[in-house]
């Protein structure tokens, strides 16, 4: 019985860390082994990981490791601490298998996250990625400075950075995808990585599912020319199904996002073509069943991530996928 689904969404969200800690009691950290994958010297024991937004401050990594994911992405991490957006910030639509949020990068700040990473008390079971963003008070013309600060603070503590300019919940953030901003922004971010303590740390760009085909082409070409190491496809969507109970603001994930996310994945692979080389492609969005995991891998994703699936299935989802793949 999934007791948490009987609770109001905000209450369930706030109690989730405590529930995870209790569920992880007496469990040993252990990643499930299936379809192991190596990329740029990083070993993934399996292809299914936790998406950004689940463990925002990297405070539950050891607990998540007891449930068998192949990698963990923490964040979104911002330089300064900040609270969620005001008002209602999360809701569910169980009939559609959907989740809505308007959180807006709530974060304890990069320096507390850095201490959480330093305090990990066990040998690392899987790779750790950091999803990084800007504070909402930072103007776009200075946004790259926020991302650079996060890279500088976390360098050497994470295996890769995920640049998040695709969240719909920070006003104006997606404008950084525009050609007049993107090259300068990403160039500054990548330069910060190159000057960091670990200049070989890969940097990935998280894509919006709401980019038009020509916009996606420009983003992929620009990012590739600058030396981005891969892409996460995708973040939440501003699109709404007919009859959706959610407001127009905020991002929707879960089953209603699936087709948009798959379309972006297909288009991304097509755009990259032979130039893909050693770029990493991670698929996220609308992955609700073990079959969905296999489908994304069959479509060409190297790795898969889940968030909303964990809301509806619980942390045992990693075990379900392990059994499905091995049957």
Distance CA 124, CA 215 (A): 38
Residues 6+ positions from 250 with CB-CB distance below 8 Å: 89, 100, 101, 102, 168, 169, 236
- Would you call 309 helix, strand, or coil by DSSP? helix
Active site residues: 167
165, 159 in Cβ contact below 8 A?
no
DSSP state string for 176-230: GGSHHHHHHHHHHHHHHHHTSS-TT--EEEEEPTT--HHHHHHHHHHHHHHT--E
Instruction: Enumerate helices (H) and strands (E) in the chain, giving the number of each.
Output: 10, 13
Distance CA 56, CA 47 (A): 21
Q: Which of 107, 63, 96, 85 is nearest to 10 (CA)?
A: 85
- Would you call 261 helix, strand, or coil by DSSP? helix
Helices of type H across 80-207: 110-118, 143-154, 179-194
What's the burial of 8, exposed, middle or buried (CB within 10 Å: 0-12/13-18/19+)? exposed
Q: Enter the tokens of residue 267.
A: 């288009």
Q: Enter the tokens of residue 314.
A: 């619980």
Q: Report which DSSP code applies to 107.
A: B
Distance CA 101, CA 76 (A): 14
């Amino acid at each position: 019985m999934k007791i948490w689904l009987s609770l109001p969404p905000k209450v369930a969200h706030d109690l989730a860390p405590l529930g995870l800690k209790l569920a992880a009691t007496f469990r040993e950290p252990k990643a499930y082994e299936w379809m192991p994958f190596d990329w740029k010297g990083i070993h993934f024991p399996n292809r299914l990981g936790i998406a950004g937004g689940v463990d925002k401050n990297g405070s539950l990594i050891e607990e998540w490791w007891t449930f068998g994911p192949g990698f963990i992405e923490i964040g979104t991490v911002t330089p300064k601490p900040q609270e969620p957006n005001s008002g209602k910030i999360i809701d569910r639509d169980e009939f559609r298998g959907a989740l809505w949020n308007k959180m807006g990068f709530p974060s304890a700040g990069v320096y507390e996250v850095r201490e959480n990473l330093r305090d990990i008390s066990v040998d690392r079971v899987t790779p750790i990625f950091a999803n990084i963003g800007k504070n909402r008070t930072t103007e776009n013309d200075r946004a790259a400075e926020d991302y650079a600060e996060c890279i500088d603070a976390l360098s050497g503590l994470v295996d890769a950075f995920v640049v998040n300019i695709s969240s719909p919940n920070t006003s104006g953030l997606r404008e950084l995808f525009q050609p007049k901003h993107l090259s300068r922004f990403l160039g500054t971010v990548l330069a910060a990585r190159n000057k960091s303590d670990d200049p070989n740390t890969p940097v990935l760009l998280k894509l919006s599912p709401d980019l038009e085909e020509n916009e996606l082409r420009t983003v992929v070409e620009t990012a590739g020319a600058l030396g981005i190491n891969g892409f996460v496809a995708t973040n939440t969507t501003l699109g709404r199904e007919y009859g959706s109970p959610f407001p127009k603001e905020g991002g929707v994930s879960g089953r209603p996002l699936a087709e948009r996310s798959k379309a972006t994945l297909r288009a991304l692979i097509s755009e990259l073509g032979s130039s893909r080389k050693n770029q990493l492609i991670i698929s996220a969005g609308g992955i609700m069943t073990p079959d969905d995991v296999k489908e994304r891998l069959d479509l060409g994703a190297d790795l898969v991530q889940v968030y909303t699936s964990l809301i509806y299935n619980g942390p045992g989802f990693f075990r379900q996928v392990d059994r499905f793949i091995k049957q």
